[in-house]
Amino acid sequence: MSAALLRRIVIVGGGSAGWMTAAALSSLLDPKDVTITLVESDAIGTVGVGEATIPDILAFNQMLGVSEAEFMAATQATFKLGIEFVDWGAKGERYIHPFGQHGVDMQGIDFHQYWLRARDDGAREPIEAYSLCALAAQAGRFALPDPNPRSVLSQIRYAYHFDATLYARFLRRYAEARGVVRVEGIVGDVRQGADGTIAGLTLRDGRTVEGDFFFDCTGFRALLLGETLSTGFVDWSHWLPCDTALAVPSEHAGPPTPYTRATARDAGWQWRIPTQRRVGNGHIYASAFQSEAVARETLLANLDASALGDPRRIAFKAGCREAFWRGNCVAIGLAAGFLEPLESTSIYLIQEGISRFISLFPRGDIPDILRTEYNRHMRTEFEQVRDFIVLHYAATTRDDTPFWRYCRTMTLPDTLLHKIELFRETGRVFRYNDELFARPSWVAVMLGQGIVPAACDPIVATLPAGDVAHSLASMRQAMAAAVERMPRHADFLSRYCPAVAA
Amino acid sequence: MAVRRILVCGDGLAAQMALTALARQVAPDTAILWVRAGDQRDGDLLYGSVTGPSAYGFNLAAGVDERQLVLGSDAAFSWGTRYAAWGAGRSWMQAFALPFPVIDGVVFHQYLARTGAGGIDPYVAGLQAARRGVFVHPPREAGGQHPLARAEYGYQVDPADYAALFAAARPADRVEVVEGAFAGAEVAGGRIAGIRLDDGRMVTADLYIDASGPAAVLGSGAPDGRRIGMAVRNEAGADEAPLRTVTATALGWQSATPLKGRTLHASVYAPDRPDEGALGRRVEATLGRRAQPWVGNCVAIGQAAGVVEPLTPAPMLLLERDIERLLSLIPVTDDCAVEAAEYNRRFADDYDHADLFQRAFFAVDGLPDGPYWDAARAEQVPEKLARKISLFGNRGLLVAYDLEPFHPEDWIILHLGMGRRPRRYDRLADRADKAQVAQFLTGMAREIERAVETLPPARVYRQQLEQFLRKAAS
């Protein structure tokens, strides 16, 4: 490690994490200066299932410079405008957590305060009636955002559903074209230097791979950061008790919806992620509260159409590594930590892990301050996402199963508890600056799951009722009219990015 | 029980700003009472003589629009502060600015680092205008394409005069002025039960705002930071330059703030070593903040919550934030526990983050020796500041914390102004063609230079604006 520059980067493990890392690095580094090697084995499966994302992925694709239509066609992708939550706050209830915001803030006061005020005056429209993304999702329509900020359509925010295995394949083509070398093989031994940093890998067939810097993309196993460098795991399973997923694709029963669905079940929840050709399904549950047989039965009984194959079982534990960067090794993806995909954050956390690394791109000597900063930032990211996911379990009146009784009464992280209390009182939202899930997201989930403020903001309370009602009605009409004019999601897809044969 | 009566206690800038903002923003059926307490005229000097760009929006929300300020006060427009002789021959202009352009996902100063251009001065429009002493309102139309579109301005003010502006701007009948003076507070069960007046009467309210300056007549637990002294005097002058000047001296620092028709001179020094050359009104204070400005049904704002050295616009920024934070958290019932927790959290963050910016001024070499400077340097560099400085120095990276009162652009200008140059830059900046980057930078500097050449001196602009406003009003 005496070299002034990192010359050899080694990525261990493929999958979304490995190939996203390879693609991002290869888009920035010249193969003449830095070699990038990715070691993976076809014999080791990846956890690739139907994957849902959040709008930040657009920035990642932009950084790579890939064409959206081409990427979507290659990965069977559909558009996503938000997530529909079913049976969370109480059985029989549903709401949409849309991308983008609700309504328009007026006079410096948050829109949801106006909505609360109108509700006090007797209005019954849900807050979703003021979200363009939620309305379009319900109507099965989609259009790209209008760059003109005056247009209602400028409020559209979107992400994608895609097939994670195809995504990894797409990124592999991209990365290999830019000089990334793929080595097929299984790691037998990790060799460490005298200072404890990683020096190289010996594969089972005896070949060796040397490197200056290593990315651990080995999934839950965390071969480098966990097993070799003995980095501990911070266990959050007392807040997020689900520990098993059963995943199975199924046929479509209708055109693909432009939203993800998450339905609460007796001991967990079930996802439904529509890609162009099929639907990804999965049941995430807590094995302490439900047997695998029952969980499997629940999953198969709740598909749109017939299953394509047998459900695959994946075990996990909620939490993250005590550090994400030790020595000359950074863990990305599941090796860094796992939070259930209730808010589609898996790809985002991979992306953030990579882009933070790039902004801190070290020389060969790697000063400690870079590791400290990286670890601090990533830990905050994980904790903030964790709090937002825990909110979904905590904000419920369900007590129909032991699982929900546990969730309803568990002790919450202080940061989350404070947020809930503040909102419950007058609908105020605890402010943090660079939180991934901003105010509209917290408002959507808290209102959607029955945390309704006792009163609205005292300042909004003094406005004339007629004025408030009038403003809200015109917003609603403008949005409804805009949705009418949007194309159907399925039609848009078939014109814009029809799937290519895999 | 609902909050129906809010009582403000104090008699200075903080009380006037709070009363006017409350009068404008709380429900008409909530009574606003005002009890004069103490005399903060001298203490108010410690709020300093500059506001940040946030004053425009704060004032507007309080019902004080800029026309009133131009016609009814001695305030002058301000592009920022020039710091001179700040150690090792250091001197730079800390101008206000909107965020710098982000090009292809990479922040502006990374391209500066890449081309080795060094300073940022030629690209900060307000700074170039300040250099020439000229002013116009930054043109925001034309899609932000005007060379001055990213300039920002604040005000140069005299705290007493600024307080009078706020007092005059609120409807006379909205605030109930309680006759008599503050004599003491009755406390029961950790809450204020009422205010005793000098004639023996009691006044009660549901929420009490302590705006009585460092004395904090309703609070307890004074801050324990270092002590400073300050002397302030006026001098006639028609210069009205749109910038304040701060110069380091052996005893501390001196500032000159041009206002309408006069210049406010201030000296700050260690209390036992006054600047003998500085005549005028004197005041001393202990710097630092309270741990919990909101306790029970009482909220301390401004200097009653914390005293900040007026080296930057920080004291005014924090006073504005105290009032805004209070307005956004006016409780609905008299159980204020949830609001208090959130208020105290945000207060501590805001104050400590403003403090990072001020402490950065002392984290450079070559500053004078002497009691003032030794005391300032003796304070430990907080870990958060060390991280900001080290990551900027390493690779031009800006570490930002939640909702800092000073923005990334303030920090960029400060770091570069102090002569700090990133050792490496963001690899992403390499994607752009080097010649194109150089061409872009040259073009940007040229456009700004051309635009400021044609602008009127700040005094002339203000006089014409005043004439126009008077004509429009008549």
Digit-coded pLDDT (tens) for A198-230:
999 999 999 999 999 999 999 999 999 999 999
| Residue A63 in contact with partner chain B when CB distance is under 8 A | yes
Strand ranges in A164-318 using DSSP code E only, listed in sequence order: 181-184, 187-192, 198-203, 208-210, 213-216, 233-235, 244-250, 260-265, 268-274, 279-285, 312-315
* B63: number of Cβ within 10 Å: 17
Residue with tokens 């003995």: A230
Contact state of A370 with B403 under an 8 Å Cβ cutoff: no
**How many structural domains is chain B composed of?**
2
Residue A1's pLDDT is 39
Is pLDDT above 80 for A446?
Answer: yes
Contact A369 B28 (CB under 8 A): no
CA distance A179 to A190: 24
Tell me the DSSP string of B283-324. Answer: EEEE-EE-S-SEETTEEE-GGGTEE--TTSSHHHHHHHHHHH
Strands A82-86 vs A260-265: parallel, antiparallel or unpaired: parallel
Residue B69's SS3 state is helix
What are the pLDDT tens digits along chain B (474 aa)?
Answer: 678 999 999 999 999 999 999 999 998 889 999 999 888 889 999 999 999 999 999 999 999 999 999 999 999 999 999 999 999 889 999 999 999 988 887 889 999 888 887 789 999 999 999 999 999 999 887 667 889 999 999 999 999 999 999 999 999 899 999 998 899 999 998 899 999 999 999 999 999 999 999 989 888 767 788 999 999 999 998 889 999 999 999 999 999 999 999 999 999 999 887 766 667 899 999 999 999 999 999 999 999 999 999 999 999 999 999 999 999 999 888 788 899 999 999 999 999 999 999 999 999 999 999 999 999 999 889 999 999 999 999 888 888 888 899 999 999 999 999 999 998 888 788 888 888 888 999 999 999 999 999 999 999 999 999 999 999 888
Task: Judge whether A220 and A335 are in contact, CB under 8 Å.
Answer: yes
Distance (Å, whole) CA B338 – CA A425:
8
Please check whether residue B83 lies inside any domain of the structure: no
Confidence class for position A53, pLDDT limits 50, 70, 90: very high
Given B253, B269, B285, the domain boundary residue is B285
A62 in contact with B, Cβ within 8 Å = yes
User: Residue A2: its pLDDT value, please?
Assistant: 41
Smallest CA–CA separation between B187 and chain A, in Å? 26
Angle, CA A333 vertex, CA A225 and CA A57 arms, to 5°: 150
Per-domain boundaries in chain A: 8-55+162-234+321-383, 78-157+413-489, 244-315
- Sort strands B281-286 and B227-236 into parallel, antiparallel or unpaired: antiparallel
As a dihedral over the C-alpha atoms of residue A287, residue A288, residue A293, residue A296, rounded to 10 degrees, the angle is -40
For residue A372, the chain B residues in CB contact (below 8 A) are 387
- A360 touching B, CB under 8 A? yes
Distance CA B41, CA B109 (A): 42
Domain boundary among B235, B252, B285: B285
pLDDT at B36: 92
Chain B residues with CB inside 8 Å of A62's CB?
Answer: 105
Per-residue confidence (pLDDT) for residue B104, from 0 to 100: 80
Active site residue A419: no
Residue A191 in this model has a pLDDT that exceeds 60: yes
Angle, helices A414-426 vs B337-360, to 10°: value is 120
- Per the structure block, which two tokens stand in for B368? 């004078």
Rg over alpha carbons for chain A, rounded to the nearest Å, is 23
d(C-alpha A108, C-alpha B24), whole Å: 14
**B136 domain-assigned:** yes
Q: Cβ separation of A431 and B402 shorter than 8 Å?
A: yes
* Structural domain containing residue B447: 97-151+380-474
Alpha-carbon Rg for chain B, nearest whole angstrom, is 23
Return the pLDDT at A292: 97
CATH number 3.30.470.30 given to A8-55+162-234+321-383: no
| Least confidently predicted of A66-75, A131-140, A332-341, B333-342 | B333-342
| C-alpha torsion angle, residues A316, A159, A447, A384 (rounded to 10) | 50
β pairing state of B80-84 and B244-248: parallel
For residue A181, list its beta bridge partners.
Answer: A37
pLDDT tens across A3-47, in order?
467 899 999 999 999 999 999 999 988 888 899 999 999 877 665
CB-based contacts of B131: which residues, under 8 Å, 6+ apart? B93, B452
pTM to 2 decimals? 0.85
Shortest CA distance from A424: residue in chain B? B338
Comparing CB atoms, the residue among B28, B391, B401 nearest residue A369 is B391
Distance between A418 CA and the closest CA of chain B, angstroms? 8
Residue of A nearest to B432 (CA): A28
Residues in B touching A28 (Cβ below 8 Å): 427-428, 430-431
Flag if A28 and B428 touch (Cβ within 8 Å): yes
List C-alpha distances in Å: A226 to A47, A95, A220, B91, B228. Answer: 19, 39, 9, 50, 53
Q: Count Cα neighbours of B301 within 13 Å in the Cβ-side half-sphere.
A: 32
Write out A326-394 in H/E/C secondary structure. ECCEEECHHHCEECCHHHCCHHHHHHHHHHHHHHCCCCCCCCHHHHHHHHHHHHHHHHHHHHHHHHHHH
Q: Which helix (H) or strand (E) holds B416?
A: helix B408-417
For A57, A78, A248, B309, the CA distances from A278, given in Å and listed in that order, are: 22, 11, 10, 64
Span A320-376, pLDDT tens digits: 999 999 999 999 999 999 999 999 999 999 999 999 998 888 887 888 888 999 999
Structure tokens at A10: 């080694």
Mutating which of A107, A356, A359 best tests the B interface, going by the most B Cβ atoms within 10 A? A359
Contact B329 A428 (CB under 8 A): yes
Distance CA(A164)–CA(A125), nearest Å, equals 37
DSSP, residue by residue, A83-120: EEEESSSSTT-EEEEESS-SS--BTTB-HHHHHHHHHH
Q: Which residues of B touch A (CB under 8 A)?
A: 3, 25-30, 61, 105, 327-332, 338-339, 341-342, 345-346, 387, 390-391, 394-395, 397, 399-404, 424, 426-428, 430-431
Chain B residues in contact with A459 by the CB 8 A cut-off are 25-27, 327, 330
| Residue B49 forms part of a structural domain | no
Residue B216 domain flag: no
pLDDT of A45 reads: 66
Q: What is the pLDDT of residue A218?
A: 95
Read off the tokens for B442: 């040259």
The single residue of A80, A91, A317, A419 carrying the catalytic annotation is: A80
> Quick one: pLDDT at residue A110?
87
Q: Is residue B102 part of a domain?
A: yes
Query: What is the complex's ipTM, to 2 decimals?
Result: 0.72
- Quick check: helix, strand or coil at residue A273? strand
Could you tell me which of B379, B347, B350 has the C-alpha nearest to residue B363? B379
Evaluate whether residue B452 is within a structural domain: yes
Q: What percent of chain A has pLDDT over 70?
A: 97
Length of chain B, in residues: 474
